Chain A
Amino acid sequence: MIQKFIITTAAISLLALTGCSQTAPDLAGKNNVSDATQFGDDTVSIDENKYGNEAGSGSNYNSSSDGFQSIYFGFGDYGISSSMQERISTNANVANNASGSQVKIEGNCDEFGTDEYNYALGLKRAKAVKDSIASQGVNTSKMVIVSFGESNPVCNEPTDECYERNRRVDIRLAN
């Protein structure tokens, strides 16, 4: 370990203290003047706030609404625990009574995943809730699932309780 450290240090120090030449061609007088017009064109700036957004539906944007109850998950899991089964039954009843409305099932994750994988995890959670509700008689064509990955946390505190609240599926009526 010490030997490796010594070799690495000596090598990096060599980089700092030495350096030799490389012969270069003589281009004096060629390509003397240019500009940078390719960077000159201005780029756009679009504000989508004016279009509204369904990602957060109203003031209670991070929890289920319209009578539905959120389903919570363990770290890295997308299986529905037995403690959540009563909520699944409640959600199935609410969905069956919501005639004519589509039910939106939103999968969410804590902040510890990255890139696409975390969105896929949120999707698996949403799909698990959809399948569970469907198993209690709700028509699958009535439900639509969307993963929000880690984009829609309900809290940002560095506590286990907060992380648990973010590993959830929210349900609401889509229209």
Chain B
Amino acid sequence: MKYFLTFLLALHFFATTLFGVDATLKVQKDVEQRSRIALVDGSSVPNEKFFNLLLSDLKISGHFLADSTRHQGDFASDFLSPELKSKEYVLKYALSMENGVKLVVRLLKASEGTEFFKKSYAIPAVEKLPFLGHKAISDINNALNYPDISWINRYVVFSRYTTPGRSEILLADYTFNYQKVIIRGGLNLFPKWADAGQKSFYYTSYAGLTPTLYKINIYSGERQKIISSEGMLVCSDVSKDGSKLLLTMAPEGQADIYEFNLGSQSRSKITNFNGIDVNGKYVDDESSIVFVSNRLGYANIFKQSLHGAAVSQIVYHGRNNNACDAHEDQIVYSSRESQNTFGKNTFNLYLTFSMGSGTRPLTTTGANQFPRFSADGSVILFIKHSGRGSSVGYINLESHQSLLFPISGSKMQSIDW
């Protein structure tokens, strides 16, 4: 028995190390439905970093069982070595970085060696190479008629502190391999995408006497002032059509949640509590919101209709649930689960539903914060702090696959994607 447990321990370590998964992963029956695929680098100058990026894309999709071996071979040839014949698909690719970046991919059926899909990509900015890889895997996924994973193509926008009273807002790809500062200097916080096409985002500027919400176009730099508020001002959510915002603001010195109509420039106060109400998120086809409040004496998640004042408690677990996100009826929240006044604490993520149909743990170790749903609600982004440093993590709710990408730099302030 002792040897058997030792063997299992070794196997457990191997499995979790190999896949970089969180300990909460559940393996579902659909594991057997994933396609076995191998990558063959046919570039004249092989690029290990790009191989790892493609591998990550395949893994987090939840639709592929990707071979972690970095094979190399002739891009144009249909020949496949015998070891690749056991796969279903072989993805051959050739990357060149002369005059920009060019990528050509060929998807072969392994058993026959026949070409199934071919596509080429080009981009002038070398630093945007990660987006080419994401786009290629996204296209291959679509070609195989698997559920959409276009979220891997999206920009992540985030703010981080640099020095006391200073911050910067950056764009990144979902792996954080690409990063670019969009707003440097000053104190600019809480970036939130303004539109599905990710052309603009909202953020709070502290350049004036009171916090001011701006909308900025990431391509033109055009900046539009939206509203100011004494105390604090955060754009917590944007309606699907982009016409309304959920704001946490304090025009009378009291933090409450307001809905702001961009067309009429009018605002309506949704919550009314002499404590803390923040972090409003649309749920249930935008007929209600969920939010964080300390109305029971500690931070917890509540729900309120946009057309009524009745407030209902959503979460009956934990004593410090101080951040949440929502997509349709799904709610993810961060719960502090240790009582160290100072120092490192455990924060775990939980998934629940606005109609109250069960709660499911998503993480079990470390400090997991800033949970954010993908645009389609299938994946959750979060920031993980552990003894090994900080990472941006992703949990695919359908496949239960998760991945962590190390991030360095200053303290994260807020994030959206």
Residues of A within 8 A of B (CB): 2, 5-6, 8-16, 18-22, 24-28, 31-37, 39-56, 61-62, 75, 102, 104, 111-117, 119-124, 126-127, 130, 144-149, 151-154, 158, 160, 163, 174
- B123 x A39 contact (CB < 8 A): yes
CB of B299 within 8 A of chain A?
yes
- A55 x B231 contact (CB < 8 A): no
A49 to B154, CA, bound (A): 28
- A75 x B341 contact (CB < 8 A): yes
Chain B nearest CB, measured from A6 CB (Å): 6
- A146 x B206 contact (CB < 8 A): yes
Chain B residues within an 8 Å CB radius of A34: 119-121, 139
- Name the contact of B164 in the complex, choosing from A56, A115, A116 (C-beta under 8 A): A56
A79 to B260, CA, bound (A): 31
Nearest first, the 7 A-B pairs at minimum CB distance are A49-B185, A48-B186, A56-B165, A19-B65, A44-B221, A116-B278, A55-B165
Contacts A34-B120, A151-B165 known; A42 to B182 CB distance under 8 Å? no
CB of B219 within 8 A of chain A?
yes
CB of B85 within 8 A of chain A?
no
Contacts A116-B248, A152-B165 known; A48 to B185 CB distance under 8 Å? yes
Chain A residues within an 8 Å CB radius of B369: 114-115
Chain B nearest CB, measured from A167 CB (Å): 11
- A53 x B186 contact (CB < 8 A): yes
Nearest-CB residue, chain B, relative to A140: B253
A40 to B89, CA, bound (A): 29
Chain B interface SS verdict (over half): mixed
- CB neighbors of A among B178-213 (8 A): 180-190, 206-211
Chain A residues within an 8 Å CB radius of B253: 123, 126-127, 130, 145
Most chain B C-beta atoms within 10 Å of own C-beta, residue among A2, A12, A62: A12
Chain B residues within an 8 Å CB radius of A145: 230-231, 250, 253
A148 to B188, CA, bound (A): 11
CB of B227 within 8 A of chain A?
no
Nearest-CB residue, chain A, relative to B252: A127
Chain A residues within an 8 Å CB radius of B187: 53, 55, 148, 151-152
Chain B nearest CB, measured from A72 CB (Å): 16
Contacts A14-B27, A55-B186 known; A36 to B131 CB distance under 8 Å? yes
- A53 x B276 contact (CB < 8 A): no
Contacts A54-B207, A55-B187 known; A15 to B276 CB distance under 8 Å? no
A25 to B143, CA, bound (A): 8
Chain B nearest CB, measured from A11 CB (Å): 4
- B164 x A12 contact (CB < 8 A): no
A126 to B211, CA, bound (A): 14
Chain B residues within an 8 Å CB radius of A46: 182-184, 216, 221
A2 to B6, CA, bound (A): 12
Chain B residues within an 8 Å CB radius of A153: 164
- Name the contact of A28 in the complex, choosing from B36, B115, B334, B347 (C-beta under 8 A): B115
- CB neighbors of A among B80-129 (8 A): 88-89, 114-125, 128
A16 to B17, CA, bound (A): 11
Chain A residues within an 8 Å CB radius of B219: 41-44
A9 to B217, CA, bound (A): 48
* Given A46-B182, A146-B230, A148-B206, 20 new contacts (CB under 8 A): A5-B12, A12-B16, A16-B15, A19-B35, A24-B144, A25-B145, A39-B128, A49-B185, A61-B164, A61-B165, A114-B347, A115-B414, A116-B279, A117-B292, A119-B255, A127-B253, A145-B230, A147-B231, A154-B164, A163-B342
Nearest-CB residue, chain B, relative to A153: B164
Nearest-CB residue, chain A, relative to B254: A127
Chain A residues within an 8 Å CB radius of B375: none
- A51 x B207 contact (CB < 8 A): yes
- B27 x A48 contact (CB < 8 A): no
Q: Would you list 22 pairs from A and B whose C-beta atoms are within 8 A, ordered by A residue?
A: A12-B16, A13-B11, A15-B15, A20-B32, A21-B35, A22-B35, A24-B145, A26-B116, A31-B117, A32-B118, A33-B120, A40-B124, A46-B184, A48-B186, A53-B185, A114-B347, A115-B279, A115-B322, A115-B323, A123-B250, A126-B231, A127-B254
- B116 x A27 contact (CB < 8 A): yes
Contacts A16-B18, A43-B219 known; A151 to B11 CB distance under 8 Å? no
- B342 x A36 contact (CB < 8 A): no
Chain B nearest CB, measured from A60 CB (Å): 12
Most chain A C-beta atoms within 10 Å of own C-beta, residue among B32, B253, B341: B253
CB of B226 within 8 A of chain A?
no
A144 to B118, CA, bound (A): 61
Nearest-CB residue, chain B, relative to A12: B15
CB of B21 within 8 A of chain A?
yes
Nearest-CB residue, chain A, relative to B414: A115
Chain B nearest CB, measured from A133 CB (Å): 13
Nearest-CB residue, chain A, relative to B334: A114
Nearest-CB residue, chain B, relative to A128: B253
- A35 x B121 contact (CB < 8 A): yes
- Name the contact of A54 in the complex, choosing from B27, B206, B278 (C-beta under 8 A): B206
- A16 x B14 contact (CB < 8 A): yes
Chain B residues within an 8 Å CB radius of A16: 14-15, 18-19
A39 to B254, CA, bound (A): 42
A82 to B119, CA, bound (A): 71
Chain B residues within an 8 Å CB radius of A11: 26-27
Chain A residues within an 8 Å CB radius of B232: 116, 119-120, 122-123, 146-147, 149
